[in-house]
Amino acid sequence: MKNVRILDCTLRDGGRIIDCKFPDADIEEISNRLAEAKIDIVELGFLRDWRKLKYEGNSTFFTDVDQMAPYTRNRKKGTMYLAFVDFGMFDFDTLKPYDGNSIDGIRVGFTRKDYLNSEQEVIRCLNIVKERGYKLFVQGVNSLGYTDKELLEIIDLVNSVKPYGFGIVDTYGAMYVDDVRRIYTLVDHNLDDEICIDFHSHNNFQLSFSFAQEIISMSHGKRNIIIDATLNGMGKAAGNLNTELIVDFLIRKMGYHYDLDMIFDIIDDYMYQIKQEKSWGYSIPSMMAGIYKSHPNNIIFLTEKFRLATKDIKYILSMIDPALRQRYDYDNIRALYEKYNHTKVDDRESVEKLAAMLKDRKVLLLLPGSTIDTYADTIEQYIAENNPFIISVNFVTKFGDKANRLAFFGSEKRYLRAAGREQECNVASVSNIDGYSDTDLVFNYESLIARENEDFENSMIMLLNLLRRIEVENFAIAGFDGYQKGEPNYSKDVIREDDRFKHRYDEITLNMRKMLKAYKEKMIKPEVCFLTPSVYADIFKTE
């Protein structure tokens, strides 16, 4: 007895790329022919609140189960018909009881936010679906967004409701194989054996077909599983798993009985024309949506509205708050686009000039920690013996001569207050600094920061990322003390002590250690020498 079933959601999830505007005749023909091809489950569309949406036909946005009845009349034995409901977008109290003349089941999708804020209402709505006689499928949107603990709580909820199926959902196409294995194992070990596991993926990383095979393998022929797919992979941005691929796999590898020729005929007769007008499938912007777990509409807007280069899309996506990336706010994106454009520069010439300055030179990075005062003799001796090129961070140093040093500024406040900056031979600034000089070497801000860390604007991290761009991995460091409560944290001659952030000292240190460790892991043959004590020196020690 087969344990794998295919759920074709072309008319629902695939249809989003055309705002679900299928002609009635096409809906009927596609649903009937999917059933003739022996597809196990056909999802006909969305159920929406009739007070917010007027149903006039030629659409798979329905407001009543009776509107789907015409598309189930020629049902074949073994075919199940479903509709999908997004929690909060349908009034479950208006759901008509199941009468056998329309859909058989309803998939209810809810977000982590819905669960955390409205758990009891979510449970009430799920129970209404069962009480009205429908097969219930629970879809926890964006499975990656849950911690393991939260996912176990969801599974406990699902076990108490006892639906027909529970879905693992890769909403933003952000999963890798190890994510699939981890989440499936967690669900499989804790979900009631009688409940099917449904897997729905998006193809941003071109892994959907691989995921499907992995899920099938991990089921070991025991757990009943459902694999979501769409004809020709139809769907927004990168699209979904291709129905024809999983059908062919199950026929050839597992001896299942589907009609692949019929599937090809549907694609030729309906998908081909749609694809002439709408594009989906792998693209670099879709890959970015997966990396940043972003709603595909953000990508579409940035691509079509501003016609941006891929790296620009990457940077703007990284600027969106992670919680906001999962929905779309075009006004916010416009504001970020303007902010990004304001700081964007072509820094290739500056990079070349800095690389020329450092070529075949030892490099000394000077930070404004108090140890550059107490260890001044050590620093002077190093300079005398090694003749390094000196890069000071957020201040103008008195060590070395002007021709062999550069003052690097990643902070606008430090830049504007730096004594003697105008008299320096070499000054570098990051492009987000307003009012930088025409004579400065200016470096693109977005290329130097790591937004995934709360303290991503740290100037030392920016400088290290700049050195990576010119392949400099060997340098000495002085004055990179790290924050310590109750101790002077800055050189008395360079930066005035500011203890407004002393409550964050431990947190800043932890964040810096995370960024420095990540940086060190990417170094090929690092040679880093600390001339002065630092809370970060251990990170760069070699075995």
Confidence bin at 542 (pLDDT 50/70/90): low
Quick one: pLDDT at residue 62? 98
Q: H/E/C letters for each residue in 335-391?
A: HHHHHHHHHCCCCHHHHHHHHHHHCCCCEEEECCCCHHHHCHHHHHHHHHHHCCEEE
**Quick one: pLDDT band at residue 41, thresholds 50, 70, 90?**
very high
Q: What is the pLDDT, as a whole number, of residue 419?
A: 84
Q: What is the DSSP letter of 76?
A: P
Does position 309 have pLDDT exceeding 80, yes or no? no
Please state, in angstroms and rounded to a whole number, the distance separating the CA atoms of residues 447 and 350. 13
C-alpha torsion sign, points 438, 440, 444, 449? negative
Neighbours of 245 (CB within 10 A): 16
Enumerate residues 6+ apart whose C-beta is below 8 A from 113: none
Instruction: Give the Cβ contact number of residue 499 at 10 Å.
Output: 11
| Pick from 96-105, 452-461, 514-523: least confident | 452-461
Task: Give me the residue label for tokens 């081909």.
Answer: 272
Least confident of 21-35, 272-286, 295-309: 295-309
Tell me: pLDDT of 543 over 60: no
pLDDT at 306: 62
Mean pLDDT value of segment 73-94: 95
Out of 21-35, 235-249, 432-446, which region has the weakest mean confidence (pLDDT)? Answer: 432-446
DSSP 437: -
Closest CA relative to residue 6, chosen from 203, 231, 176, 159: 231
pLDDT digits (tens, 9 = 90+) for 462-520: 999 999 999 999 999 999 999 877 777 788 777 665 666 677 888 888 989 999 999 99
Distance CA 407, CA 394 (A): 7
Distance CA 13, CA 44 (A): 10
- What pLDDT was estimated at residue 487? 75
- Mapped onto helix, strand or coil, the DSSP state of residue 200 is strand
Of the listed ranges 53-62, 95-104, 381-390, 415-424, the one predicted with least confidence: 415-424
Angstrom distance (rounded) from CA 136 to CA 148: 24
446: pLDDT strictly greater than 90: no
Q: What is the rounded average pLDDT of the residues 338-354?
A: 85
Residue 7 CA to chain centroid, in angstroms?
26
Sign of CA dihedral 75, 76, 77, 81: negative
Alpha-carbon torsion angle 233, 236, 238, 241, nearest 10: -30
278 pLDDT tier (thresholds 50, 70, 90): very high
Average pLDDT value over all residues in the chain: 92
* Phi, psi dihedrals of residue 363, rounded to the nearest 5°: -125, 135
Confidence label for 307 from pLDDT (cuts 50, 70 and 90): low
pLDDT of res. 484: 79
pLDDT 10s digits, 239-274: 999 999 999 999 999 999 999 999 999 999 999 999
The predicted pLDDT at position 332 comes to: 83
pLDDT score, position 500: 61
Residue 380 has pLDDT above 70, yes or no: yes
Q: Please check whether residue 188 is in contact with residue 214, taking contact to mean a CB–CB distance below 8 angstroms.
A: no
For residue 256, the one-letter residue type is: Y
302 and 316 Cβ atoms separated by less than 8 Å: yes
Residue 343 has pLDDT above 90, yes or no: no
Q: In 56-92, which positions are buried (b, 16+ CB within 10 angstroms) versus exposed (e)?
A: eeebbbbbebebbbebbeeeeeebbbbbbbbbeebeb
Q: Name residue, tokens 């007070």.
A: 51
pLDDT of residue 288: 82
- Which of 418, 541, 381, 395 lies closest to 479 in space, CA to CA? 395
Which residue did the predictor score with more confidence, 388 or 288?
388
Residue 324 has a pLDDT of 82
Distance separating alpha carbons of residues 452 and 292, to the nearest angstrom: 10
* Residue 417 confidence (pLDDT) above 90: no
Closest-CA residue to 408 (of 378, 440, 381): 440
Q: How far is CA 228 from CA 5, 113, 246, 526, in A?
A: 9, 24, 9, 47
pLDDT of 116-150, one tens digit each?
999 999 999 999 999 999 999 999 999 999 999 99
Q: What are phi and psi of 258, to 5 degrees?
A: -125, 160
Q: Which are the contacts of 74, defined by CB distance < 8 A and separation ≥ 6?
A: 32, 35
Q: Mention every residue, 6+ apart, whose C-beta is less than 8 A from residue 197.
A: 165, 166, 167, 168, 184, 187, 188, 191, 215, 219, 223, 224, 225, 226
pLDDT computed for residue 476 by the predictor: 96
Q: Which two tokens stand for residue 159?
A: 């076990």
**Mean per-residue pLDDT for 413-429?**
90
Residue 141 to residue 122: CA distance in whole angstroms: 13
Q: Residue 341: pLDDT band by 50, 70, 90 thresholds?
A: low
Report the alpha-carbon distance of residue 284 to residue 254 in Å, rounded.
Answer: 34
Tracing tokens 């911690």 back to the chain, one arrives at: 147
Q: What is the mean pLDDT of residues 339-349?
A: 81
- Tell me the two tokens of residue 399: 């060590």
pLDDT computed for residue 413 by the predictor: 86
Give the whole-number percent of the chain exceeding pLDDT 70.
97
Instruction: Identify whether the C-beta of residue 489 lies closer than 8 Å to the C-beta of residue 483.
Output: yes
Q: Which two tokens stand for residue 368?
A: 């404004």
Residue 298 banded pLDDT, cuts 50, 70, 90: confident
Would the pLDDT of 354 be above 90?
A: yes
Tokens of 412: 């606008």
What pLDDT is stored for residue 3 in this prediction? 97
What pLDDT does 135 receive? 98
Residue-level pLDDT at 344: 83
CA distances from 88 to 52, 62, 133, 299, 310 (A): 12, 15, 21, 25, 35
Q: What angle do CA 18, 23, 29 make, to 5 degrees?
A: 110
* 408 token code pair: 């690097």
**pLDDT given at position 128:** 98
**pLDDT digit string, tens, across residues 161-189:** 999 999 999 999 999 999 999 999 999 99
Residue scoring higher pLDDT (378 or 490): 378
Position 326 confidence tier, pLDDT thresholds 50, 70, 90: confident
